[in-house]
Amino acid sequence: MPEVPHVRPRRLRQPAFRRLNAEIRLHPAELVLPLFVQEDAESPTPIISMPGVMRHSLDSLKETVQVAAAAGIGGVMLFGVPTAKDAVGSGATDPDGILNVAIRAVVGEVGDALAVQTDLCLDEFTDHGHCGVLDDRGRVDNDTTLARYCEMAIAQAASGSHLLGLSGMMDGQVAAVRAALDADGFADTALLGYAAKYASAFYGPFREAVDSSLTGDRRSYQLEVGNRREGLREVLLDIAEGADIVMVKPAMGFLDVLADAAAVSDVPVWAYQVSGEYSMIEAAAANGWIDRRRAIEESVVSIRRAGADAVLSYWALELASWLQEN
């Protein structure tokens, strides 16, 4: 009998082979850059808990999306920060509200060179900071909120958004918004369902970024962090309701849910590397505890490895520049 060859996986880890045998490669087109735009701002202002990230003025927003298009990233996700809020988030459906104005400005700058995506949620626009309209007992009213989402969807689509990010986690939101868009002549406007969005501690810096008015928490509509099967159930529901893309959020703490979704989904699956993930790495790197560039690259590769077809990341532009260098 011939001797069995000695197995040495390390042969393919030599310098000449590492790049050739990489299973996951990052590409700028797989990256989406979240951007915040503040109403009436004359210049960008730093977000203290997210070093390097800004609340943009309209002028700096337009400059940034031009850079993003030149870098070859896949898209941008816009969040509006209004100067005034009320109980039903009126600014979200005002054609002259900051988010709808920003959509028109960005589409005017980059056209189809980027997928212009917009957050479809009321939390930035409500004085109570919740993602929906409250009932007389102070609870988020699911179906009343759906009506507001439909109005918001029409406003965003009319302003030119290519992809609406339904991030509010209301039951039936994808089906309701899809029906409203189709009925109003916006059949080509795509929907990103934030299908498995967990009630995570890692959203903290985002609250500063959008000047959130939230008191309490969002546990009545966002998922319990320990629930894996429920995350997959929500993904399947959004697909059945007509989502063009589904999302898992946050990313790194929920790679198992992401992998579950990628294994069964017949539509693209994305993940959002949220503000707390960003700030955690930036803080550790600022203290010299980790190699910043390697940690950033590894974090995004891990999300892609788990099954994400695209990643929303605040490092999208920086990553794209490194990929172009390589």
Give Cα separations from 121 to 82, 180, 318 (angstroms).
13, 16, 27
The chain-wide mean pLDDT, for the chain, equals: 95
137-159 average pLDDT score: 97
Task: Quote the CA–CA distance of 231 and 240 in Å, as a whole number.
Answer: 14
Tens of pLDDT, residues 277-293: 999 999 999 999 999 99
DSSP code of residue 74: S
Tens of pLDDT, residues 20-30: 999 999 999 99
Q: What's the confidence (pLDDT) of residue 285?
A: 98
Contact partners, residue 244, CB within 8 Å, separation at least 6:
163, 190, 191, 192, 267, 268
pTM of the model: 0.94
Q: What's the confidence (pLDDT) of residue 299?
A: 98
Would the pLDDT of 98 be above 80?
yes
Task: Quote the CA–CA distance of 3 and 19 in Å, as a whole number.
Answer: 31
Exposure string for 184-218, b = 16+ CB within 10 A, e = fewer: eebeebbbbbbbbbbebebbebbebbbbbeeeeeb
Q: Does domain 26-325 correspond to CATH entry 3.20.20.70?
A: yes
Q: Rounded to the nearest 10 degrees, how much is the dihedral formed by the CA atoms of 31, 283, 291, 9?
A: -60
- Give me the DSSP letters along 78-135: EEEE-S--BTT-GGGT-TTSHHHHHHHHHHHHHTTSSEEEEEE-STTTBTT--SS-B-
The pLDDT > 90 percentage for the chain reads: 87
- Candidates 56, 148, 197, 304; catalytic one: 197
- Single-letter code of the amino acid located at 43: S
Q: What's the confidence (pLDDT) of residue 1?
A: 61
- For residue 85, indicate whether it is catalytic: no
Tens of pLDDT, residues 121-133: 999 999 998 889 9
Structure-token match 């998922």, residue found: 223
- Candidates 249, 255, 307, 311; catalytic one: 249
Tokens of 124: 């930035």
Domain coordinates in residue numbering, the chain: 26-325
Task: Quote the CA–CA distance of 185 and 203 in Å, as a whole number.
Answer: 35
Q: Long-range CB contacts (< 8 A, 24+ apart) of 208-211? A: 208/47, 208/48, 208/49, 208/50, 209/36, 209/47, 209/49, 209/50, 209/53, 209/55, 209/79, 209/81, 209/275, 210/36, 210/79, 210/81, 210/123, 210/124, 211/81, 211/124
Q: Minimal CA–CA distance to 212: which of 101, 152, 126, 289?
A: 126
